[in-house]
Amino acid sequence: MDRPRFRKAYLAPRFWPLWCGLGLLWLIVQLPYPALLTIGRVLGALMYRVASDRRTIARRNLELCFPEKSAAERKRLLKENFASTGIAFFEMAMSWWWSRERLAKLAHVEGLEHLQKAQREGKGVILMAAHFTTLEIGAALLGQQHTIDGMYREHKNPLFDFVQRRGRERHNLDSLAVERDDVRGMLKLLRSGRAIWYAPDQDYGAKQSIFVPLFGIQAATVTATTKFARLGKALVVPFTQERLADGSGYRLVIHPPLEDFPGESEEADCIRINQWVESALRACPEQYLWAHRRFKSRPPGEPKLYPKRR
């Protein structure tokens, strides 16, 4: 995919409100990091009150995945989750506009040697991640230390798409954006020994998935991880990230490559992936994107798990 280029059309009046919003956001993220955490939590509290549909989905997910917790515990977790989502809004802007030096001070990276070893051996890497609220800043921090390509879906607003891509790709000029549906392009990169960020933890529909347990619930799980690993002759390397509670930044962990992957069957691989996803979510549940309807697809004959949207 070509690098994003500024176009005169972005100065048209229809984009002025977005320019004003981006300008205000740019000004806010010049504040010190602790202040941004506080403002983010306030924004999250506001979202908790007004985003009723997303609150309902997240609450339902927590009920399904953590039935052992009390209602009060899940409510506290839900509020913390919205606080994390509010902070993520400013983390996105930080990753786009903070200087490389200022941003790098927040990174605490472990396991980088696994990516470096794969690179030396010319092996492609599927950097298997999950949709945490810290996704944007985590990718930026890791991208400063190692070339990471990313799966990409074009935004409907061309100006926002330009700003987003430019902000993401500035951390490593060698990084590439791969269209989410460009399977051939992804396999080509993997075979050439590159590392690609990929998250198999969302519900993309039953047609391209199989049903295997996640938190004890049958969940539509994509089989693409197995296909990419086999056809791309690539390693699958788990990657986790978390915002540290002491305000010192972010802990990024590149785990050892999965052994004997792909395995005997796609079903066995999907079970293994979901077991990893579940362990990652249990380790840091307040920072996961629970507002996604992870269990919206159901096996034949099973009832829907979410109420109808308003």
Q: What confidence tens digit (pLDDT) does each residue in 53-98 have?
A: 999 999 999 999 999 999 999 999 999 999 999 999 999 999 999 9
pLDDT at residue 260 above 90? yes
Structure token digits, residue 44: 């999250």
- Contact (Cβ atoms closer than 8 angstroms) between residue 234 and residue 259: no
Does the structure show a pLDDT above 70 at 219? Answer: yes
User: What mean pLDDT comes out for the span 18-34?
Assistant: 97
For the entire predicted model, the pTM comes to 0.93
Q: How many CA atoms lie within 13 A of 17 on its CB side?
A: 2
Helix (H) or strand (E) holding 126: strand 124-128
* Residues facing 254 on adjacent strands: 239
- Model pLDDT, residue 183: 86
Res 192 pLDDT > 60: yes
Q: Report the pLDDT value the prediction gives residue 251, as an integer from 0 to 100.
A: 98
Tens digits of per-residue pLDDT, 1-14? Answer: 567 789 999 999 99
Give the per-residue pLDDT at 2: 66
CA nearest to 85, candidates 31, 48, 35, 129: 48
Side-chain-side CA neighbours of residue 76 (13 Å) = 4
Is residue 27 classed exposed, middle or buried when 0-12, 13-18 and 19+ CB atoms within 10 A define those classes?
exposed
Instruction: Report strand pairing: 124-128 vs 234-243.
Output: parallel
pLDDT band at 310 (very low <50, low <70, confident <90, very high): low
Q: What is the mean pLDDT of residues 142-148?
A: 92
pLDDT of residue 19: 95
Specify whether the CB–CB gap between 133 and 85 falls below 8 A: yes
Q: What's the rounded Cα separation, in Å, for the pair 75 and 242?
A: 21
pLDDT of 8 reads 92
Strands of 141-257, DSSP E: 149-152, 177-179, 195-198, 209-214, 217-222, 234-243, 250-254
**Residue 109 scores a pLDDT above 90:** yes
pLDDT of residue 284 exceeding 90: yes
- What share of the chain has pLDDT > 70, as a percent? 99
| Section 139-168 average pLDDT | 88
Residue 81: predicted pLDDT = 98
Give pLDDT, residue 34: 97
Judge whether 64 and 295 are in contact, CB under 8 Å: yes
Q: Is the model's pLDDT at 227 over the cut of 90?
A: yes
Mean local confidence (pLDDT), 105-117: 97
